[in-house]
Structure 1
């Protein structure tokens, strides 16, 4: 199979172009980040039931991500990307209606995020050199900082003004994102069925199970996928349950949004974290992020009798999660073969959907026996497991060549 690009554009898309698109999507997701858990809790009145709904929606999101490669063989990738932005708008309309329609709003928003993430990463692999991946990740986080920092607190404040107001902001951000995608020379990214590539005597197809089998046959990719998945679980537990924890402990609805915004301020530290990571290695950065985050989540659990201390410990833990945002995706992206860009982008993006399934599922079990602070201990255990998994990453991955040479001379 070969990729047929759109007609040659006047210039190829740059790192800045992708960072701007990522920044607008950050606003789409950020403005409802703390809103969805609150409106779901309002609608159902039970943290356990909210967890069950998130679990079911996570399953649909995972299936959505894994079917994108098959869709790209029938439709241009740009059209799928634009359809994802349209789903954000549909989510906004359902959210404005309110009531139990918030379930449909959450479903559409999660599906849009899954499709958008696959398309974004596939385009990145098409147009950006591997040497620029770390620069893109840092710049994308920096551009998205405003959406992630302002969005949660603004969304919760707008919710107090009118329940549909945060979704108006979502519709505007999604529309702007669609316009930017149209104006950026990304190419169509559509697959054309030519002579099939034979793998073990059989033609390679876009069937989701075939993609998953090829993924599991490459241990480096499995390791590179597990770490972002666990990091995503930790973020999921933070964003969903901090707000509910605050409400149940009498701290008010605003605390969840403000805590999410403060946590996302760490995104502006991404350039500093990148320089620190380059002076060491990707493995060192990932293991430091996992261990530091784990300690903070455990402290938050032990401090549960003092709710403000729990919130403070969790916010401290998000600094380490931002370090993982900067570094955790690099091992996977650096292992992808050019011939498998779209397929493996779908697999890579599935870490968010899998975390959206596992996190509420396991959290629901925990909540059957422990108070809500127990889910933070769950996050600590998960990050500790990621610290162990990260030990299998090559110690020189992502280390600049001059630094590798100096280290080797020092050992000789």
Structure 2
């Protein structure tokens, strides 16, 4: 009798995950999201024919997505991170499948699926980063992650709008499915392991409402959330209202895609902002960035619909300062959160993105009753000024 021995020579030893691993995953995820970032608001406007209705649509979707984000730790405890991450990727594809229907129901369902998918990907990826990257390397890792995603956010919106304009919905959203499939292959190739401290178990999961209370009881976490909320309010507004500004003023959908791509191209400066943060301190750098954004948005509001290209130019100036918050903002949370609470606190922290997609459109829908699109940017400038003051006065010098 001959013994049968299997030698798993086809499975090479996986390298320890590092900053480049997460940069690759985030870049692929960014391609899947950025390729229709400018298409979705234009698609919504063509269905609804009203800037105010588009704002209300985003408000409803963000409100529903917020509930999913709060409950995400329960899913991670029940199914493990790798499965939640996989589900997030699949939801991006499902969202595009809904959006190609060209109906209002499909628009709402597709936007919601993308929001929930993005939430799952963001939370699980942040947990993997905090498991595998040292705290002293967070600034370097985050700036590298943002810099690598530059090409996705630079080319994606223009690619999506071009496909949409030339070939229709199927072409634009088909690109999302391709990028999502590539992302899923790379994720399983890297074989990231779950932290045993938060793997599925038999203990009863913590109450999501208790997680919120625990989060609010920690001043450093509250501050990290507010900084991230301010940063995200700008980017969510930029992705929606920069294309709308171009379309409403007759410049065309392609012009809107180009503005968004140009703003995203500035992500390559994340490495520069990372060095400035290490040299002058995260507090000083982020406060200056928020102040610069407030000034840029004020000029944008003054130009408004009367001078759309001037407004677009200063939106790009604002985006340059916004990249500083992308490079440094998450570091505040990553250094403040306790290791045994990462899953629960990351889910609560991630609500900044849901609320930044909920609150601004709600405010803008009221502002747009009395003012034009310039009022949107003026409202955002006020928030950025408040963020600058809060960051300067309350963020510790050593962060």
Work out whether the TM-score is over 0.5: yes
Q: Distance in 2 between matches of 1:257 and 1:192?
A: 42
8 Å CA contact 2:266, 2:323 repeated in 1: yes
Gapped regions of structure 2 (runs ≥ 5): 1-12
Paired residues in the alignment total: 381
Give distance in 2, aligned partners of 1:195 and 1:225: 28
Q: Does 1:266 align with 2:266?
A: yes
2: distance between equivalents of 1:55 and 1:225? 20
> Structure 2 length normalisation: TM-score?
0.93
Aligned to 1:178: 184
Residue 273 of structure 1 and its aligned partner are, at CA, apart by 1.6
Partner of 1:191: 199
- Deviation digits for residues 159-189 of structure 1, max 9, x if unmatched? 1012221101100111111111111131144
Question: What is the alpha-carbon distance in structure 2 between the residues aligned to residue 336 and residue 36 of structure 1?
Answer: 34
Residue 241 of structure 1 aligns with which residue? 241
**For the Cα contact (< 8 Å) 1:26–1:148, is it kept in 2?**
yes
Equivalent position SS for 2:93: helix
Alpha-carbon distance in structure 2 between the residues aligned to 1:270 and 1:133: 13
Q: Aligned equivalents of 1:112 and 1:59: distance in 2?
A: 15
Residue 96 of structure 1 contacts residue 168 of structure 1 at CA under 8 Å; is this kept in 2?
no
1:376 matched to which residue of 2?
A: 377
Q: Residues of 1 paired with 2:324 and 2:194: CA distance?
A: 33
Q: Secondary structure at the match of 2:373?
A: coil
Partner of 1:71: 75
Structure 2 vs 1, CA of residues 10 and 149 (structure 1 numbering), >3 Å: closer, same or farther?
Answer: closer
User: 2:33 matched to which residue of 1?
Assistant: 29
| Equivalent pair of 1:11/1:185 in contact (CA under 8 Å) | no
Aligned to 2:210: 210
2:327 corresponds in structure 1 to 326
Structure 1: gaps (5+ residues): 1-8, 197-204, 398-412
Matched, 1:231 2:237: no
Shift of 1:379: 1.1
Q: Give me the whole-angstrom Cα distance separating, in 2, the residues matched to 1:27 and 1:150.
A: 9
3-state SS in 1 of match to 2:350: helix
Match of 2:140 in 1: 135
Q: By percentage of residues, which structure has more helix?
A: 2
Comparing 126-135 and 94-103, the one that deviates more: 94-103
1:159 maps to which of 156, 160, 164: 164
Structure 1's consecutive aligned runs of 4 or more residues displaced over 3 angstroms after TM superposition are: 192-196
TM (norm. structure 1) is 0.90
Structure 1 contact 95–164 (Cα < 8 Å) conserved: no
Contact 1:19/1:140 (CA < 8 Å) preserved in 2?
Answer: yes
Query: Is 2:146 the partner of 1:144?
Result: no
Distance 2:301 2:122 in 1: 32
Is the Cα contact below 8 Å between 1:13 and 1:185 reproduced in 2? no
